[in-house]
Amino acid sequence: MHVLYTREQLQKRIKELGKEITDFYKPITNEIVAVCVLKGAVHFFSDLVLEVGLNVSYSFVQVSSYVGEGSTERVRVKSWLDESITGKHILVVEDIVDTGITLNYILKYFAKYDPASLKVVTLFEKHARRKVETPIDFSGFSIEDKFILGYGFDYDQKYRNMPYVGYIDA
């Protein structure tokens, strides 16, 4: 396993993202709904919301288009919002935007509920395999086309609990 980002590097960037998000929303509102895209974003979400200087309500969706190392390009919804987002400022918290298919699905669906605003933060962006361009308002890191593990990223539900992000040579 090669370490791509240490826990310290991740925490430093997440702290910066928290400030960027706070600075963006402060003139508009003091309250947002942060929607964690499970399971991959769980560690990022938990660390990020601690750095946002606003009142943050939590919500969770479990949506995926991946099996093993590859995208099926078919979105599977396992759980969805359990409260109204109409008129609220929504921040979708994603672990990685790779093909863009899953995020595009989420954004289109959320837009139907007429939120006051709909923004996206992702820890990682991978442009090499993008199939759908989606707006990303706050981005942690841009990475090459590597299959990453740790800090929420998995291979068949394993390796999520490593405190850093790494990759294995193919």
The whole-chain average pLDDT of the chain stands at 91
Contacts of 109 (CB under 8 A, 6+ apart): none
Span 86-97, pLDDT tens digits: 999 999 999 999
Contact (CB, 8 A) for 30 and 23: no
| Catalytic residue, candidates 47, 98, 145, 156 | 98
Instruction: Kindly report the length of the chain.
Output: 170
Residue whose token pair is 């606003």 = 54
Walk me through the domains of the chain, giving residue ranges and CATH numbers.
Answer: 2-167 (3.40.50.2020)
| For residues 48-56, average pLDDT | 98
pLDDT score recorded for residue 9: 98
Radius of gyration for the chain, computed over Cα atoms and rounded to the nearest angstrom: 15
CA–CA distance, 4 with 66 (Å, rounded to integer): 21
Span 99-154, pLDDT tens digits: 899 999 999 999 999 999 999 999 999 988 888 988 999 999 999 999 999 999 98
Contacts of 104 (CB under 8 A, 6+ apart): 132, 134
| For residues 31-49, average pLDDT | 96
Quote the tokens at residue 13.
Answer: 């960037």
82 tagged catalytic: no
CA–CA distance, 162 with 151 (Å, rounded to integer): 6
